[in-house]
Amino acid sequence: MPRPGNSGGPLVSSRAEVIGINTAIINGAQGICFAVASNTAQFVLSEIIRHGYVRRAYIGVAGQTAPVPRRHAVLAGVENTMGALLMQIEPDSPAARAGLLPGDVAIKLDGVEINGVDDLIRALDHSRIDRTLSMDVLRLGRLRGIDIHPIERKPAKQ
């Protein structure tokens, strides 16, 4: 039996402002809802209208969030306690052409501090497509500056 929900409905502030779009609800958890922020929804909609999909920058890495050993951070003169550990580099990708290697830990991209793989994904937005960017990585405990040129990630085939 279907239950009533609020998926797709507006998330409204106490001042009657739409601040999000509800996407899911957990009925057994006192009605806890999950929502997408209205500015994110607005951005996604405008990208879909303009291009047919959301444009993203692509560098060709697979990674995970990992701690930066304190000793390495001190020696490199960085504040990061976490970074994006690059596990795989796709052949002939922007990352491969830039000289990134598995085991590098990304800690800064285009002036934005990277404290994990989520930060790296967020930093690779449409504004960084086809631009040469500076990326700081820790390699074997030493800070290295690398220039990388992200390309546009093509949408998945339907």
Element (H, E) at 12: strand 10-12
Q: Is residue 63 part of a domain?
A: yes
Q: Is residue 2 part of a domain?
A: no
Q: Is residue 107 part of a domain?
A: yes
CA distance 5 to 82: 38
Task: Based on the fold, state whether residues 44 and 65 are members of the same structural domain.
Answer: no
| 110 vs 9 pLDDT, higher one | 110
Task: Based on the fold, state whether residues 61 and 136 are members of the same structural domain.
Answer: yes
The pTM assigned to this predicted structure is: 0.76
CA distance 68 to 78: 10
3-state DSSP: the chain helix, strand, coil percent, rounded to 5? 25, 40, 40
Task: Based on the fold, state whether residues 139 and 87 are members of the same structural domain.
Answer: yes
pLDDT (tens digit per residue) in 18-47: 888 888 777 776 667 788 888 888 888 888
Lowest mean pLDDT among 19-28, 57-66, 78-87: 19-28
CA distance 146 to 140: 15
CA distance 151 to 153: 6
Q: Is residue 95 part of a domain?
A: yes
Q: Is residue 3 part of a domain?
A: no
Q: Is residue 1 part of a domain?
A: no
Q: Is residue 5 part of a domain?
A: no
CA distance 60 to 97: 10
| 72 vs 28 pLDDT, higher one | 72
Residue 52 · residue 31 · CB < 8 Å = no
pLDDT of residue 155: 74
Task: Based on the fold, state whether residues 136 and 66 are members of the same structural domain.
Answer: yes
Task: Based on the fold, state whether residues 41 and 71 are members of the same structural domain.
Answer: no
pLDDT of residue 2: 44
Task: Based on the fold, state whether residues 24 and 102 are members of the same structural domain.
Answer: no
Residue 117 — very low, low, confident or very high, per pLDDT cuts 50/70/90?
A: very high
Strands (E), 13-154: 18-26, 32-37, 57-58, 61-67, 82-89, 105-109, 112-113, 133-139, 142-148, 151-152
The total domain count for the chain is 2
pLDDT of residue 3: 47
Domain interval for residue 75: 57-152
Task: Based on the fold, state whether residues 38 and 68 are members of the same structural domain.
Answer: no
Mean pLDDT, the chain, integer: 88
Distance from CA of residue 19 to its chain's centroid?
22
